[in-house]
Amino acid sequence: MNDIDSKPQVEWLAKADILTDALPFMRRYNGKNVVIKYGGHAMVDNSLATEFAADVVLVKQVGMNPLVVHGGGPQIGAMLKRLEIESSFIDGLRVTDAATVEVVEMVLSGTLNKAIVANINSAGGQGIGLSGKDGGLLQAKKLLRNKLGPDGQTEDIVDLGFVGELTHVNGKILTTLAENQFVPVVAPIAAGNAGETYNINADTAAGAIAAATDAKRLLLLTDVPGVLDGDGKLIEELSVSEARALIADGTIKGGMIPKIETCIDAVENGVQGAVILDGRVKHVVLLELFTPHGFGTLITGS
């Protein structure tokens, strides 16, 4: 039997073919910023967390600039419960009083941020953890929401406490770090004009950072495969206008609406494409960036 037909040789050739197929995509993204919003199940599964860090390092080593923005809702909830601090939600957003925002900052900027950085460093990268308060990276004002009153008509102003709406993103901080071989890992905590602390939705922060850094791609890792049509099948690509139409007709609903709105905002502010994909899938970042058809739902301006 020829050596080339042995099992190890066949496996090696298959891996070589994979690398060859990926090369055009490596060239496409070489030197480009890719913002990855990391959250959901992938953060609480240790094996997925380790694999995610290794994938981020690989993306960096082949010439891209990954910028990681992370959430941490389940971990915040667990810590609040442990400290016996009650939480309430309005339209999916946590009402954040003074006691809660201290816990939010502790969990996001401390425990979670440094755990992600440690995983990236263990995988051979140079992760560096940042809060949005560092260097004026993220600045915000209080977010006020309108909500229909009991009569179904009158709009009431809802105060969510220390939940913020971004007013400025200093993208230069992140691009400078990325150009010097670091992998920035951002906790979505922002500062107000008076120095107060605001909790920012991680998807929203990732979208704003993608726009501020002229990112080629925004990847939102979620706990669903992407946008599904009326029959439950994955929609692989949508234009901004098509996405808006699906929101209007009710195909896109619930928690998917703010994610799509984040993607639309990013694309309309210069990001070439935004993707919603399933963070529970092994190596999903690599599958999205290095294969012809990607792995989630791509939102583009065209």
pLDDT digits (tens, 9 = 90+) for 239-264: 999 999 999 999 998 889 999 999 99
- Which amino acid appears at position 286 of this protein? L
**CA dihedral of residues 60, 65, 67, 68 (deg, nearest 10):** -20
- Which amino acid appears at position 265 of this protein? D
Annotation marks residue 127 as catalytic: no
- Which amino acid appears at position 279 of this protein? G
**Residue 280 lies inside a defined structural domain of this protein:** yes
Annotated catalytic residue, options 55, 226, 259, 265 = 259
**Residue 117 lies inside a defined structural domain of this protein:** yes
**pLDDT of 294:** 73
Tell me the two tokens of residue 202: 């991680």
Report the range out of 78-92, 158-172, 282-296 with the highest average pLDDT.
158-172
Annotated catalytic residue, options 71, 161, 164, 203 = 203
C-alpha–C-alpha distance, residues 265 and 301, integer Å: 10
**Residue 227 lies inside a defined structural domain of this protein:** yes
Is 270 a residue whose pLDDT tops 80? yes
Let me know: does 122 contact 133? Beta carbons within 8 Å: no
**Residue 160 lies inside a defined structural domain of this protein:** no
pLDDT tens-digit series, residues 19-30: 666 666 667 778
Let me know: does 159 contact 144? Beta carbons within 8 Å: yes
**Residue 126 lies inside a defined structural domain of this protein:** yes
Residues 6+ apart with CB under 8 A from 118: 127
pLDDT tens-digit series, residues 139-176: 999 988 766 555 555 566 777 889 999 999 999 999 99
Least-confidence region, from 32-41, 76-85, 205-214, 284-293: 284-293
Give first-to-last CA distance, the chain, whole Å: 53
Is 18 a residue whose pLDDT tops 90? no
Is 275 a residue whose pLDDT tops 70? yes
Annotation marks residue 40 as catalytic: yes
Annotated catalytic residue, options 40, 72, 132, 171 = 40
pTM: 0.88
Nearest to 202 by CA among 81, 75, 36: 36
**Residue 147 lies inside a defined structural domain of this protein:** no
Is 282 a residue whose pLDDT tops 70? yes
**pLDDT of 1:** 46
Annotation marks residue 37 as catalytic: yes
Q: For residue 125, what is the enclosing H or E element?
A: none
Q: Which domain holds residue 221?
A: 29-138+167-190+199-300
